[in-house]
Amino acid sequence: MTTTVHVSRDASALAVGAGQVARAIANEAAQRQADVRIVRNGSRGMFWLEPLVEVTTPAGRIAYGPVQAQEVPALFAAGLLAGGAHALRLGKVEDIPYFGKQERLTFARVGRADPLDLDDYRAHDGLRGLHKALDMAPASIVQTVTDSGLRGRGGAAFPAGIKWRTALDAPGAQKYIVCNADEGDSGTFSDRMLMEGDPFVLIEGMVIAGLAVGATQGYIYLRCEYPHAHEVLSVAIATAYAHRILGSDILGSGRRFDLEIRLGAGAYICGEETALLDSLEGKRGQVRAKPPLPASKGLFGRPTIINNVITLASVPVILDRGAEYYRDFGMGRSRGTLPLQLTGNIRHGGLVEKAFGLTLRELLYDYGGGSATGRPIRAVQVGGPLGAYLPESQFDTPIDYEAFAAIRAMLGHGGIVVFDDTVDMAQQARFAMEFCAIESCGKCTPCRIGSTRGVEVIDRIIAGVARAQNQTLLRDLCDTMTHGSLCAMGGLTPYPVLSALEHFPEDFRRPAPAAG
């Protein structure tokens, strides 16, 4: 009898030796003449347990981790293939609270199914959304997405249905679907995990988007720093063409959708949708003034939907299970689930997909298990490099777009970076301003010049030079950046800077470092 063993092919698992573990399992099985099939799945998102090995037994998938290659012979000796007892045995994955308590809609298959096996994709409910969409009028697909309450997961949280409606209504023989897979925010990796762990769901979501708005060509704009995602997506796209999920006759319907990958060279600003379009057109990525919105006049001047990976990958389950099913998760105007990413100084880093509404504190302690160093958590930055630094007093804020906006913060792409009490928040404020100075596209003055001056002002505060006057100057400068910048890069950099100043003022009053 063949025993199936899962070892992740996710970059996070490969980085800690999953490739060697898979080879060691194959070697050991060959030596013992054991009939083993190794499946390279996506990660379950519990990074502290990688490399995670899962063995399929009559009692379910039994996990072991973190496994090192040299431990494989001992694991076999302990009866690994039958789920035998061993110090690394974790039991059924679903029984690990970190995983079992999640609500996985978008990531339902990640870690469970073989990412590159289309039959496995089908066996795990894949393509059901597309089949339904093929029987629907474009306007009712758009209406379903609108009714689900899905908002863009790339950062701005704009309602997906409204954007799709604009593109549907825009006249034009050629329209485009662009997937934003630039994933530039610090502490984020959900796009990467999804693309490596379930590429067909993204392809399916993009085909549905094409059917909804009348677009026949799609592009995935992928950052070049994601070689594993590139490899998996390339194979999955070729498979999708071979099985007529892509091409001129989608599942025998006579409808067309083509899809290509374009690699970005790694500029943060190329994640901003209009700079991304410039980059896709072969130009230097610079922000365009809006209007016109890309949905009316986007790539090559044509109506274009730009959505984040997670937004598009959430569409198949909405079409399959219905708008009400999806919108039943969440709170207020934040409907459905958000794949949250826990990183930085945290004991249990990884991916947690939950309905909106749980608090930051629950995430940090119930899931994250507190800081990795065991010291008190002093600050967390939520929403990437443009997100605010939140102090302990704000940890009870629910994960909800409006609740975060009310405390002058943002959820962004759901990345959460944790700092313990050794952090110097004045240095973090400087880092945020310097990031803007380095990554600014240079189009508008408040951002291009303001961020450089901002670093100088913060340096003077840290050095103890006329602190009160320089703090006033810094606030003025932030005000100008907020109101005068063309895009959110310059417009939101004041969030981390001013939140550090507001919540951690003592760090801006430390004795100046000794000269020389």
Ligand X SMILES: Cc1cc2nc3c(=O)[nH]c(=O)nc-3n(C[C@H](O)[C@H](O)[C@H](O)COP(=O)(O)O)c2cc1C
Q: Which residues make up the interface to ligand SF4 (CB under 6 A)?
A: 269, 287, 440-444, 447-448, 485-487, 489-490
Nearer to ligand SF4, 455 or 486 (CB): 486
State the number of CA atoms in the 13 A half-sphere of 242 facing the CB.
Answer: 9
| Rounded least distance, CB 116 to ligand X, Å | 24
182 binds, among ligand X, ligand SF4, none (CB under 5 to 8 A by kind): ligand X
- Report the C-alpha gap between 314 and 188 in whole angstroms: 17
Q: How many CA atoms lie within 13 A of 388 on its CB side?
A: 20
For residue 233, CA distances in Å to 201, 223, 227, 245, 281 come to 11, 13, 10, 14, 21
User: Among residues 367 and 431, whose Cβ is nearest to ligand SF4?
Assistant: 431
Partner whose footprint covers residue 441, from ligand SF4, ligand X, none (CB < 5 to 8 Å by kind): ligand SF4
| Residue 189 contact, options ligand X, ligand SF4, none, Cβ 5-8 Å cut-off depending on partner type | none
Q: Which residue is nearest to ligand X (CB)?
A: 152
Give the shortest CB-202-to-ligand X separation in angstroms: 12
Q: Which is nearer to ligand SF4, 78 or 449 (CB)?
A: 449
Scan for tokens 């986007």, then name that residue: 298
Short-list 137, 134, 372, CA closest to 253: 134
How many whole angstroms separate alpha carbon 420 and alpha carbon 418? 7
Min separation Cβ 434 and ligand SF4, Å: 14
**Buried-exposed string 166-193: b where 16+ CB fall within 10 A, e elsewhere:** bbbebebeebbbbbbbbbbbbbbbbbbb
The rounded distance, in Å, linking the Cα atoms of 490 and 469 is 22
Q: What is the DSSP letter of 444?
A: S
Question: Which residues face 54 on adjacent strands?
Answer: 6, 63
Do residues 266 and 224 make contact, with C-beta atoms less than 8 angstroms apart? yes
Residue 36: how many CB atoms within 10 A of its CB?
18
The residue (of 211 and 309) whose beta carbon lies closer to ligand X is: 309
Minimum Å gap between C-beta 343 and ligand SF4 is 24
> Would you say 37 or 284 has its CB closer to ligand SF4?
284
Q: Tokens standing for 45?
A: 């998102």
Distance in Å, CB of 489 to ligand X, minimum: 4
Whose CA is closest to 43, among 413, 341, 395, 278?
341
User: Among residues 316 and 491, whose Cβ is nearest to ligand SF4?
Assistant: 491
Q: How far is the CB of 416 from ligand SF4 (least distance, A)?
A: 24
Residue 444 binding: pick among ligand SF4, ligand X, none (C-beta 5-8 Å cut-off by kind): ligand SF4
Q: Smaller CB distance to ligand SF4: residue 321 or 448?
A: 448
Residue 152 binds which entry of ligand X, ligand SF4, none, CB below 5-8 Å type-dependent:
ligand X
Residues that bind ligand X (CB under 6 A): 152-156, 158, 180, 182-184, 268-269, 271-273, 306-308, 311, 487-489
Nearest-approach distance from CB 160 to ligand SF4, in angstroms = 23
Partner whose footprint covers residue 141, from ligand SF4, ligand X, none (CB < 5 to 8 Å by kind)? none
